[in-house]
Amino acid sequence: NNLQSAMKKTKITKLFLVLAVMSFTFSSCYKTETVYYEDYDLVLTYYDTHFDYSTNKTFWVRDSVGMISDYIKPGDDNWNSFYGPKGASPQIRNEVARQLKAYGYTQVMDSLQDADVAINLVMTLIKTEGTVSYGYWGGYGGYWGGYYSGWGWGYGGYYPWYGGTTYYQYKTANLMIEMADGDSLRSLINYIKVTPGADPTDPEAPIMLYRWQSFVNGLQTEQGTYDMERILKGIGQSFEQSQYLKLN
């Protein structure tokens, strides 16, 4: 049990590291004009192989999508657009709820207390930039001599490379959808409320059980913004490849 608990607590961190590596790899390919960005979209889903999903009947979804960004600040134009009436946040939330209802789940609107599962939504919008410097190679000259008979003697050399610096910048957008067990989430929330200085990472804290997770990766455009059409397509793909969630 302790091992399983530790594994569950480190699972998200490991997955984020995997996505970060993939995001960098794919974004490095975005330097040419011939790239179709949607070709690099990726949907990963994880589920509890020992859980009976038919026992879930109701779901509760958070009221807005959590945002993690290093370039969008609360109150700026991008922030207001994201959380506006026609922004990404309500569209993502509504689409996830629609997909779950299509699979036979009933949405609990008012409170988390009566939901079998709780849906968490988080989007990361990250900008990475930096420089790469290439050193001075000099005019390397290798004395070849008469290595092979008939090749003669000589002092071979290369044209010098004086080095330089390349600047790079790219943005990544990733969506995470989490389905948490309702009872385990309620236990954790109660622990935080009643425990002074509560720390969710404390070994004595209740363990959050994730029944299903989806990571939609590669949602940036050539302009470095997120693409709603591809986000919604990624959400649909998340459920399409998770037929075990179906109740009907």
Report residue 16 CA to chain centroid gap.
6
Determine the structural domain holding residue 163 and report its residue range: 2-245
Element (H or E) spanning 106, and its range?
Answer: strand 106-107
Mean residue pLDDT of the chain comes to 76
Give yes or no for a contact between 163 and 136, defined as CB atoms under 8 angstroms apart.
Answer: yes
In the block, residue with structure tokens 């948490």? 180
- pLDDT for residue 222: 57
Taking residues 74-94, report their average pLDDT.
Answer: 94
Q: What is the pLDDT of residues 210-227, one digit of tens each?
A: 999 999 986 666 555 678
SS3 category, 227:
coil
Nearest by Cα to 48 from 8, 76, 3: 8
Strand partners, 155: 143
Structure confidence by residue, pLDDT tens digits, 168-222: 666 778 999 999 999 999 999 999 899 998 888 888 899 989 999 999 986 666 5
What is the DSSP track for 130-171?
A: EEEEE---B--EEE-TTSSTTS---EEE---B--EEEEEEEE
Do residues 211 and 53 touch, judged by C-beta distance below 8 A?
A: yes
Query: Is the pLDDT assigned to residue 235 strictly greater than 60?
Result: yes
Give dist(CA 237, CA 128) in Å, integer. Answer: 27
Q: What is the pLDDT of residue 98?
A: 98
96: domain CATH number?
A: 3.30.160.670
According to the model, what pLDDT value does residue 219 have?
Answer: 62
Cα–chain center distance at 156: 51
User: What average pLDDT score do residues 48-73 get?
Assistant: 93
Looking at residue 66, its pLDDT comes to 93
pLDDT at 163: 53
Structure tokens at 197: 């200085």
**% of the chain residues with pLDDT over 70:** 65
* Total count of domains within the chain: 1
> Quick check: 1 pLDDT over 90?
no
